[in-house]
Amino acid sequence: MLSTSCYLRTWERFVSEGVLDSNRLNKRIMESWHRCKKDQVNPYLNKGKHILTNELLDIQREKNSFLLEVASPQLSRMNQSIKESGMMALLVDPDGYVLSLSGNEKILEEAGKINFVEGVCWTEGEVGTNAIGTALKTGEAVMIQGTEHYSIASHKWSCSAMPILNEDGMLLGVLDISCPVEYFHPSMLGTVANLAYTIEQEMGVRSYKKELALTQHSIELAETYPDLPFIVCNHKEKIISASKQIRKKIPQSIGMALADFLNHGYQIKKENPLLSKEDNRVSGKCLFLSENHEPNRLFPASMPSERFAFKGERGISESFHNTLHKVKLVAPTEANVYISGETGVGKELIAMAIHENGFRKKGPFVTINCGAIPKDLMESELFGYVDGAFTGAKRQGHKGKFEQANGGTIFLDEIGEIPLAMQVALLRVLQERKIVPIGGTKSISLDIRIITATHRNLEELVNAGSFRKDLYYRLNVYPIHVPPLRERIEDIPYLVNYLCSKNNWNIPVTEELLNRLKDYNWPGNIRELQNVLQRLTILLAEGPLDYVKVLNSMHSQPVTWHDDFPTWEEPGKKGFKENELTIREKIQRDLMIEALQKSRGNVTAAAKLMDIPRSTFYKRLHRYGI
């Protein structure tokens, strides 16, 4: 009791005064309290506030079905012991939602009083420092008791949690054992750790069985297609089997990463997903190959093969794989690259892939949108300035984007928008690899790679006299075109899965939904696809959807706002004209759209991110046609 009352006084002082004696608390708990204070978590919260509906909880469980499938038998095995100890066990997904809860009936009833129930979100951001949320945040096992919790909802509870990881170290969820503080036992953390370890081991066994099944697939394929070269990869794109002719030519192919293998003179002709017989899920893929007889001259002969880094979704389309092949060829060279493609196709991802697979990958990658900078600020933004260069200049000067990118890569997006005066300065930088900041006298040598991009046709701009021909030839050493989404429709299922996973969007991906998405022309490309998926996520918060009806009307309905759960059309609807805005207003508008995306459409949260009143945010929404 002495310790509990001591922690209570520590908590009261921190909550009221922001003062914390570092000797009073465990380092991890202290760090968590500071995070909660910074994020303005309510310390007087007396219950969980965000609980999924039954429909949305079912969706969340389906999304984490493998975790539930493996963990449920282990939890059932321990249930009686947990009941007798006056405790309860919770399985939580990576988003912090409680997927299952079992244990002592009386304790479960007590937990219900603070909404500690199935479907509740129990992260640090929702309910403050707690074993589940803090384990999710730190990736470490943690035990938190009584008033070590940040919010009063959990002050009467003792909780121990352990992250559950797959064989690659990826977080799959958290296992938690909780009880009222009077039932606390020192073995709680050890129990939860052993149980989590058992679940991880079972997952490893199942993964091994899937690889055995994939090997059996390859034997059947070899019998069916004895003369065709093929490889079989698991879900991590690691080769686990290959046809006889592949093994003969490349003996080390088994165990090789797919990206490395493709540098040995083969290209993919056809890709077939392989389904597990147990659960009918994709467990790997078979790739039928052909030999590429053209030598890869841009790679130094002695350069070791490395895994190709690409942070987006590759899909299976030939058009996009051709783009990535060009990236692989040019990345290890010094050539200036010009990336063309429509708005929303992912030109920055391509530029980043060139950087991360090149010799300067350990250096900075600096992006600048030339179309978003006022003309009178462009010189200082690109080249920087020294102390006292002009009225209002920062006292210690300012490093421009070129200097910030030194030792790495600078990506000049929308290069077609750069004014003629700056084109001359940029040409000089390309020729001399030096810059002189505004107001300075000393030149700064640069060791950088320059990548440019635009959605406009630079050749037409050259012919029209608005873009210098000599600069065009300097930048256009190695052109790469990124295809629009309508030319890679077969990639839509892969892109949908990637975007939903990346953004934690809980959309049931049905065949009906994918067919509707494939039927659309996508003028806004991947960015538009992302926006549509985000809208569906927002609408799903209100209940199940008729995808056909929603998607049919998605591009024709007027914009409507439902307080904190909006649905909106693409910017530019309602007669709005973007070119009527000033540069400052365009920047404000872009920041608002970004804030809405980050907050998943929550206006209150978006306004908070921008640090402006919600009423002001609403006025700008109407004014800018968002």
pLDDT at 610: 78
Do 530 and 573 share a structural domain? yes
Q: Please report which confidence band the pLDDT of residue 391 belongs to, taking 50, 70 and 90 as the band edges.
A: low
Render the burial of 384-407: b for 16+ CB within 10 Å, e for the rest: bbbeebeeebeeebbebbbbbbbe
Render the burial of 429-445: b for 16+ CB within 10 Å, e for the rest: beeeeebbbbebeeebe
pLDDT digits (tens, 9 = 90+) for 350-380: 999 999 998 888 899 999 988 888 777 888 8
Do 249 and 119 share a structural domain? no
Do 461 and 541 share a structural domain? no
Average pLDDT over residues 211-226: 77
Which residue among 463, 481, 499 closes a domain? 481
Average pLDDT over residues 440-450: 87
Do 353 and 439 share a structural domain? yes
Q: Please report which confidence band the pLDDT of residue 298 belongs to, taking 50, 70 and 90 as the band edges.
A: very low
Judged against a pLDDT cut of 50, whether residue 569 lies above it is answered with no
Which residue is it, tokens 């006889």? 244
pLDDT at 389: 55
pLDDT at 557: 37
Judged against a pLDDT cut of 50, whether residue 493 lies above it is answered with yes
Do 518 and 476 share a structural domain? no
Percent of the chain past pLDDT 90, that is, above it, reads: 34
Residue 298 lies in a domain: no
Average pLDDT over residues 207-227: 78
Judged against a pLDDT cut of 90, whether residue 173 lies above it is answered with yes
CATH number, domain with residue 247: 3.30.450.20
Do 432 and 386 share a structural domain? yes
- Pairing of β 434-435 and β 444-445: antiparallel
Residue 15 lies in a domain: no
Which residue among 433, 461, 481 closes a domain? 481
Residue 397 lies in a domain: yes
Residue 584 lies in a domain: yes
Other CB atoms within 10 Å distance of the CB of residue 137: 18
**Distance of alpha carbon 302 from alpha carbon 305, whole angstroms:** 9
pLDDT at 304: 32
Percent of the chain past pLDDT 70, that is, above it, reads: 87
Is the Cβ–Cβ distance between 149 and 171 less than 8 Å?
A: no
Residue 19 lies in a domain: no
What number of CA atoms fall less than 13 Å from residue 508's CA on the CB side? 18
Average pLDDT over residues 164-192: 90
Render the burial of 9-33: b for 16+ CB within 10 Å, e for the rest: ebbeebbeeeebeeebbeebbbebb
Which residue among 291, 310, 339 closes a domain? 291
Do 190 and 65 share a structural domain? yes
Average pLDDT over residues 302-309: 49
Among residues 362, 406, 359, which one has the least CA distance to residue 382?
Answer: 406
CATH number, domain with residue 53: 3.30.450.40
Do 474 and 494 share a structural domain? no
**Distance of alpha carbon 550 from alpha carbon 507, whole angstroms:** 14
pLDDT at 575: 39
Residue 446 lies in a domain: yes
Judged against a pLDDT cut of 60, whether residue 440 lies above it is answered with yes
How many domains are there within the chain?
4
**Range of 469's domain?**
318-481
> DSSP 3-state assignment of 221?
helix
Residue 434 lies in a domain: yes
Judged against a pLDDT cut of 60, whether residue 302 lies above it is answered with no
Q: What is the DSSP secondary structure assignment for residue 523, as one 8-state letter? A: T
pLDDT at 151: 94
CATH number, domain with residue 430: 3.40.50.300
Residue 392: which residues within 8 A CB-CB, separation 6 or more?
A: none
pLDDT digits (tens, 9 = 90+) for 64-84: 888 998 999 999 999 999 999
**Which amino acid is residue 607, in one-letter code?**
A
Residue 55: which residues within 8 A CB-CB, separation 6 or more?
A: 543, 544
Q: Which two tokens stand for residue 274?
A: 């392989």
Report the residue count for the chain: 626
Residue 166 lies in a domain: yes
- State the average pLDDT for the chain: 82
Do 587 and 500 share a structural domain? yes
Do 72 and 109 share a structural domain? yes
pLDDT digits (tens, 9 = 90+) for 96-134: 999 999 999 999 999 999 999 999 999 999 999 999 999
pLDDT digits (tens, 9 = 90+) for 514-540: 888 888 888 889 998 998 898 888 888
Specify the pTM: 0.45
Q: Please report which confidence band the pLDDT of residue 278 belongs to, taking 50, 70 and 90 as the band edges.
A: low
Q: What is the DSSP secondary structure assignment for residue 482, as one 8-state letter? A: P
Residue 106: which residues within 8 A CB-CB, separation 6 or more?
A: 86
Q: Please report which confidence band the pLDDT of residue 168 belongs to, taking 50, 70 and 90 as the band edges.
A: confident
Judged against a pLDDT cut of 50, whether residue 316 lies above it is answered with yes
**Distance of alpha carbon 320 from alpha carbon 338, whole angstroms:** 16
Among residues 328, 335, 310, 298, which one has the least CA distance to residue 449?
Answer: 335
Q: Please report which confidence band the pLDDT of residue 301 belongs to, taking 50, 70 and 90 as the band edges.
A: very low
Which residue is it, tokens 């907050």? 599
- How remote is the C-alpha of 381 from its chain's centroid? 28
Do 188 and 141 share a structural domain? yes
Judged against a pLDDT cut of 50, whether residue 491 lies above it is answered with yes
Is the Cβ–Cβ distance between 237 and 257 less than 8 Å?
A: yes
Do 575 and 469 share a structural domain? no
Average pLDDT over residues 227-253: 87
Judged against a pLDDT cut of 60, whether residue 579 lies above it is answered with no
